[in-house]
Structure 1
Amino acid sequence: MQAPAIISDATLAFIEREVAIDVASCGLDLLPSTARGYGCQVAADRSRITLFLKRSEAGQLLHDVLVHDRIAAVFCLPATESALQIKGRAVSLSLADVAGLAVVAQHARQFVAGVLPLGHERTFAEAYMQIAPADTVALSFSPEVVFEQTPGPGAGRPLQDQVTA
């Protein structure tokens, strides 16, 4: 029997917004590795999340998540600093397909539109989100727990029950 999906409607709507995405893991030595995400796609049944990363920036992270099978992703809305963290396992890696590249392009447009009112120049925002299709990889995982990460007294509080193995 498959575990119930933990991605609520509100979580789905938030992580598919104009959020900054930071992806993290660690090696077997517990040293952290991080990379920037360039978009997010959630499976229809919400059992898998796919993050799109720049392979040329994410070498250590990609190695660590595939060896250690642990991943954490933080989704932060620049306008408010509201943030969620999703942790998971069952990580897999592939090249981004055409549908994934469309997600990356849409996310870049949303992110740029979201940071312009904050005073960032369009050229900066577009450069920040630039990623070559040939350098784009899709990192998928099964979410296990979602945390509130907005700075303040609720930071670190789980939003849903953890998936138990």
Structure 2
Amino acid sequence: MMRIGIITASDKGSRGEREDLSGPALKELAQSMDWEVAEYIILPDDQSMLEGTMRQWVDELSLDLILTTGGTGFSPRDVTPEATLAVADRLVPGIAEVMRLESLKVTPKAMLSRAVAVLRKRTLIINMPGSPKAVRECFHAISPALPHGLQILKGEANECGTPTK
């Protein structure tokens, strides 16, 4: 079973001034994939706090997947991609590209997303949009490939081009 963590980046959400709808939407989507949501937190848009939580969840908890929601726009407080890149070992650009491509079918504003996807050790970290509707659209766009990618990352599957026996 895949163990995942969900981080909502929101100043207002972390202060209790806004209900987090995107984090619970991600939790529901993850559970529909039969994944265990091992960690969930709402953090302010603070780069060091985001970095620290991602590092801890990878380095100490060995989560398979971390999904973030929020903090990927143009606001000076939107620092989720910077925090994610700061903890990255390798980039996975195709995931963010697919999310933007699919979102462009709904709104031209999708091109303004700065979301990234990276690997840290054996954990995949993906920045998702901040709205529940966009979270669902993006998750559905990438979810068909995630189980295989996570299995490869964990050493539990053959390479993409290798037939199974």
TM-score range, shorter chain: under 0.3
Query: TM-score of the superposition, structure 2-length normalised?
Result: 0.27
Instruction: Tell me which protein shows more helix as a share of its residues.
Output: 2
Higher relative contact order by CA 8 Å / sep ≥ 6: 1 or 2?
Answer: 1
Query: TM-score of the superposition, structure 1-length normalised?
Result: 0.27
